[in-house]
Chain A
Amino acid sequence: MMAAAAVTTPAAPVLDVQGLSVAFRTRRGLAQALDDVSLTIGAGATVGLVGESGCGKSTLLKAVVGVLGGNAEITAGAVRFRGLDLVKADAETVRRQRWKGIAMITQSALNALDPVLRVVGIDPSRFSEYPHQFSGGMRQRAIIAMALVLKPDLVLADEPTTSLDMIVQDQIFRRLDELQSQLGFSVLLVTHDLGVVIENCVRVAVMYAGRIVEEGPIAAVVDAPRHPYTLGLKNSLPRLDRSAEPIAIPGVPPDPVAMPKGCRFAERCPFALDICWRESPPLREVAPGHRAACHRSADLHALRRAAEDHRTWASTAAARSADYGGKR
């Protein structure tokens, strides 16, 4: 099921993002979209990037391909693709890497295709065969084919199966897996659905409010999470062994223009201590190959049971404030 073809060797990663920080100039001020993000993907590996909307996953993808808008600024860091730093490279060099080196699979073909090109040159008798007429699964297969046509080394998959049902989703990933074995490309799978990541990735990075909060081998991160947010995400998965309802994490992420000084998750965290509000926890190794950014990561195994109780989440600062998104 998982593309374990190549062992991830830090020595020759296909993609090596180091300390990347990206901010957007907005009317209200500078919005921090990414803060000191580091991520490595080895040859042939499938790495997952999971987080809720607005956490910065799309920004990270855009930063890798270099299509951030005019109001974006890369304030720090490097994005090394096969050793070449795309942040420092000139526009033409970056452009050459696109599609031949790094390709992308998006959510929908409809957005990807030029509307006029769809119309011009089409035999009118084939009117029923416009892209929006194809089934979702067929569209995604077309997108995958399009992405792989130049045999890239890295495929960025942005919510590739979000609008598809489970069966089709499964088919798509199987197909992708086969192709990966044949062609040997790496995949960065970006999604908000932890379940998809569990099924298909060797490693996963969890993102929150522009930062990587936990990162490591899939088994370790899922079975023994070391960050409360990851615990919260797990809760959102439906489970066969209990009849309990999935639990949503109350509250909303912080305002990118006014990021808090301390831990960005503190407001929604049931285990926050004083230090969490004062100091932002750095991303540290908590086990071989497994990193987490939490002051309490060592205690988390003891708190795991509590995290599965919905009452724990009702006690967070966010849940207690009268309206979610409180401190704005």
Chain B
Amino acid sequence: MSWIVQFITAVRRTASGRIGLYVFAFFGLVAIFGPMLAPYEPFERVYHDGRLVRLASPSAQHWLGTTSLGRDVFSQMLYGARQAMIVGCATAIGVAAIGVNVGLIAGYFGGRIDAVMMRITDIFLGVPFLPFLIVVLAITGRSTTTIIFAMTLIMWRAAARVIRAQVLSIKQMPFVAAARTTGAGDFTVLYREIAPNIMPIALVNVTLAMAWAIITEASIGFLGYGDPSVTSWGSIIHAAYAAQMMYRAPWWVIPPGIAIMVLVSSVYFVGRAYEHVVNPRLAVQ
């Protein structure tokens, strides 16, 4: 677990890393506490004097205005943060879990295991992701789990490839041979000696996976294939699009995009700050 500490320390060393970390933490807090603090329910139609508050521009009661169905945009944004964080973190963890292990095993054992694993990743190269996901969602129904699952399935390949390459070069180093001579078994060497050394590059990949997952989930939501029982930032914009109101109610459409942009940027900043540890050449003198 020391690599988590190392990660946070390294990231905090640069200004951009600190900003990224704090912004991300802020979104984390919003994700956890936001829905409890939200003034309205996301699907709640708000009435005032018995009349539906449709398409209200931002005001004191509705900080980000309302939608064409009288729903409070600000509350929707808070709930959307939770969805974005869940999807992002779940995909990141999934990609890390599968990608790291496949990369370690393929890189270390080489030979046929390596060939088979790499072949599996290559078979699906020709499949365009978004169209594929749409078809799958049309078949199995729209659920967050399916989306996370599908995204993980696509992203682990890139991570595995990078980690495998790293393992190939670490494998040659003297300390690995030294560990083996002390009688350590293959898996011990792999997980106790080699794994900690690939953690930096794995973490960088994880941040990329998270960033991509958040954007992709938003895109799916925008196209109308998001989980209907949940509010996500993408689905907020989809609702505006479906009501053909996207150019007449900027308060409805602009905030979700900004939120996505800020959250994903923070993830990129953290990843880039950590990259300096992995590749010192990128560090400023």
Contact = CB atoms under 8 A, between A and B. Distances in A.
B1 to A, nearest CB: 30
Interface of B: 285
A26 B285 CA distance: 7
A327 interface: no
A243 interface: no
A264 B109 CA distance: 55
Chain A interface bracket (under 10, 10 to 19, 20 to 34, 35 or more): under 10
A71 B285 CA distance: 9
B256 to A, nearest CB: 41
A72 to B, nearest CB: 11
3 contacts: A26-B285, A27-B285, A71-B285
Contacts of A71: 285
Contacts of A26: 285
A64 B285 CA distance: 23
Nearest to A26: B285
A85 to B, nearest CB: 28
Interface in A38-84: 71
Contacts of B285: 26-27, 71
Q: Which 3 A-B pairs have the closest CB atoms?
A: A71-B285, A27-B285, A26-B285
Nearest to B284: A27
Contacts of A27: 285
B281 to A, nearest CB: 14
A221 to B, nearest CB: 37
A220 B92 CA distance: 71
B284 to A, nearest CB: 9
Nearest to A71: B285
Nearest to B285: A71
A27 B285 CA distance: 7
Interface string A4-31: 0000000000000000000000110000
A71 B284 CA distance: 12
A71 to B, nearest CB: 6
A318 to B, nearest CB: 30
Nearest to A27: B285
A27 B13 CA distance: 14
B135 to A, nearest CB: 43
A216 B285 CA distance: 38
Interface in A65-108: 71
A324 B208 CA distance: 45
Nearest to A70: B285
A155 to B, nearest CB: 31
A202 to B, nearest CB: 39
B280 to A, nearest CB: 14
A284 B285 CA distance: 38
B56 to A, nearest CB: 54
